[in-house]
Amino acid sequence: MSDFQFPPDILDFKHPSFESLHHYARALSAIRRELTPRQKHWAHASLRVNATGLTTTPIPYKSALFEIVLDLIAHRAMVTTSRGERWETRLRGQSLSQFWKELNDALDALQIFPNAPKPDFVDAPSTYEERAVENYWRALSQMDILLKQFQSGLRGETSPVQFWPHNFDLAMLWFSGRLVPGQDPQDEENADEQMNFGFSPGDKGISEPYFYITAYPLPAAFVGSELPTGAYWQSDGWRGAVLLYKTVAASDEPDALLLDFWLTVQKRGAQLMS
């Protein structure tokens, strides 16, 4: 049996604690985006997985650095600086406005003034169930390991493995190296031929957690080609390959299942893009 074992039930977009984590992650992203120098494909707005949760990575401010972490094991938000300062607060289901105020008051006290706009959300107290968050973290941390393992074997440029707070996705882009005909080469979002490999906690189109693969632009004969056992092609709302989380969690070899899914579809996409 594999060392990788995924919890059978994890926090999804319908779980009461999802809204809290979504708020907290969006808050960190807003501050990182405001102060981090621009990076390709909006990588300056994403978060990264670290050993305990999600991090902004070090953010420059004047001649110093600071970092904000959502520790999903100790259930705390923490700010540390390159001057040796530290602040933390417990994650307890506070509303976005309350969390935003606590975080920005702390940054003010540290003489850090990001002036970032607060993320736009309907503001209300929410729920934070530690056990549900810990199960989600167990799954997310293993996904990060496996995506990086998959990434290491790819030729050509890739994005970092990164967490996108807006959609609550963990994802990585692979670039073929070719430009899309008819697109402005300076418009990287639309000019770079690419495939996206990610994990979603579910949405209105697929109401449970799932792994996905999409391609841009979509090659002819890509959708409908043979997929590994358990995966299927999604065509309602968007088109791409899907492997449900529950299928991975039920497997004795979830790492082999995921890596085979990513590798098989990537090879097929790369062939069709050439």
The rounded distance, in Å, linking the Cα atoms of 66 and 223 is 44
Instruction: Name the strands in the sheet holding 210-216, side by side, starting at the edge strand that comes first in the sequence.
Output: 162-164, 169-179, 192-200, 210-216, 240-244, 232-234
Residues 249 and 146 placed together within one structural domain of the fold: yes
As for how many domains the chain has, the answer is 2
The rounded distance, in Å, linking the Cα atoms of 262 and 243 is 10
23-79 pLDDT per residue, tens: 999 999 999 999 999 999 899 999 999 999 999 999 999 999 999 999 999 999 999
Residues 168 and 78 placed together within one structural domain of the fold: no
Residue 117 lies in a domain: no
The angle at the Cα of 16, spanning 14 to 17, to the nearest 5 degrees, equals 110
Residues 148 and 29 placed together within one structural domain of the fold: no
Residue 83, pLDDT score: 98
Residues 91 and 190 placed together within one structural domain of the fold: no
82 contacts 66 by C-beta, under 8 angstroms:
yes
Residues 262 and 163 placed together within one structural domain of the fold: yes
- What is the torsional sign of CA 35, 116, 123, 120? negative
Residues 148 and 250 placed together within one structural domain of the fold: yes
Residues 262 and 137 placed together within one structural domain of the fold: yes
Residue 228 lies in a domain: yes
Q: 3-state class of 60 per DSSP?
A: strand
Residue 273, pLDDT score: 84
**Concatenated DSSP letters of 68-129:** EEEETTTTEEEEEETTS-EEEEE-S---HHHHHHHHHHHHHHTT----PPPP----------
Residue 83 lies in a domain: yes
Please, which residues have CB within 8 angstroms of residue 104's CB and are 6 or more apart in sequence? 114
The parent domain of residue 171 ranges over 132-273
pLDDT band of residue 220 (cuts 50, 70, 90) is: confident
Query: Which of 12-16, 134-138, 146-150 has the least mean pLDDT?
Result: 12-16
pLDDT band of residue 199 (cuts 50, 70, 90) is: very high
Residue 219, pLDDT score: 87
Residues 247 and 145 placed together within one structural domain of the fold: yes
Residue 183, pLDDT score: 84
Q: Tell me the percentage of the chain whose pLDDT exceeds 90.
A: 82
Calculate mean pLDDT across residues 124-139: 92
Q: Where among 59, 76, 109 does a domain terminate? A: 109
Q: Where among 94, 109, 124 does a domain terminate? A: 109
Residue 244 lies in a domain: yes
What pTM, to 2 d.p., does this model score?
A: 0.94
Scan for tokens 């003010």, then name that residue.
108
User: Is pLDDT of 189 > 80?
Assistant: no
